[in-house]
Amino acid sequence: MPNAQHFCLHGLLLSALACCAGAATGQQSPAQVTVTATRDPVDKSYRKMLAGMDRFERDRALAPNATLRFELLPRLPTTRLDGITLRVVGDTMALPVAVAPDHTFTLERDGEALRQDAALVASSKTSTLTWRAQVRSPSVPPGMRRLGDLRLECLVGVQAGLVSNNANVFAWLGALLTDPDRVCASPDGNYLLFADRPLFGATLRDGARTEQLPFAMLYAGGTQTSDTLPFCDCQVLLDRSYYAPLWDRRWSDDTLVQFDYMDDPPGAAGTVAVADTHRDTERMRAALGPAAVVRFDSGYQVWRYRYPRLTPKPSANGKPDDAEFVVLFGPDGLARKARLTDPL
């Protein structure tokens, strides 16, 4: 039966926009581990990166028509990707690597570089960059990613040793963070992915089946603090970061992940506008109390409230799975849009 919080939530939404309900992903919220240890956060092992390329060929069945590139991403607010150069450097050799305008690149196979156990060296200073594999299948609609591509990105990225951090203290985690088959096939692996723009939500679409990614799979789990953020690849990309259920084979490789970006208007991907009477943070807090809040350097913030489902749904651990009311506030403190994972 609806409770008082149901009615209070219902009054916050404009009746002119319908609430599009999606089921929150039934997987257990993954433990939030997003780092791994490497010999250097920027210089990458040429040998490992070739191993990642080999892994791409070995597991092409995940994305039969896809191409592989590697991608540079910023790690600090001061990072400037334009103009960065790359070289494969060994004891007695150096090979330039062309970087495309979108900050992606490919690697050539060079026997001498392999024999010298060369490194891929960037012109940017240590700790200013992070790296990812980029696997893209043709014909994927704009604003979406294909799950098989993301699965292969994870395998290649971990095999190539791309995920980086600044602290050797995490080295003891060992194979949990460096074994591709453990990282990419387990909900505890948590390979962090990045959208092209700041995210408000994401929806899985596999034929007629759809589910919204829960709050716990966005923004590096929504648990980062000022103390932990420097050890996360998401340090300046927190609002673009998300997890996907790479491990869950109930979702086919052809599943599409559809993104709802922060700058998309209400109504997209089932989002709704918030009534003017409750549109600022003070009135929202007065109506519903404190929320789980993630704040971004841009001034935007996302609030998450939980409420009981009208029809209980067990999660992966067998416990009742609450629905979510999630609100996006702009730098001015006014709500831009909201979403519900269960109808009121």
Do 206 and 255 contact (CB within 8 A), yes or no?
yes
Q: What gap in Å lies between CA 339 and CA 222, rounded to an integer?
A: 17
Q: What gap in Å lies between CA 67 and CA 163, rounded to an integer?
A: 20
Q: What gap in Å lies between CA 303 and CA 289, rounded to an integer?
A: 11
For residue 19, the model assigns a pLDDT of 35
Q: Which helix (H) or strand (E) holds 68?
A: strand 67-74
For residue 165, the model assigns a pLDDT of 55
Mean pLDDT, range 52-72, rounded to an integer: 98
Write down the mean pLDDT value for the chain: 84
Q: What gap in Å lies between CA 114 and CA 88, rounded to an integer?
A: 10
Range with lowest mean pLDDT among 8-17, 239-248, 335-344: 8-17
For residue 21, the model assigns a pLDDT of 32
Q: Can you count the helices (H) and strands (E) in the chain?
A: 7, 18
User: Any idea what DSSP says for residue 341?
Assistant: S
For residue 126, the model assigns a pLDDT of 64
Structure-token pair, residue 95: 């090979």
Q: What gap in Å lies between CA 277 and CA 12, rounded to an integer?
A: 8
Q: Look up the pTM and report it.
A: 0.84
Mean pLDDT, range 92-116, rounded to an integer: 96
For residue 220, the model assigns a pLDDT of 93
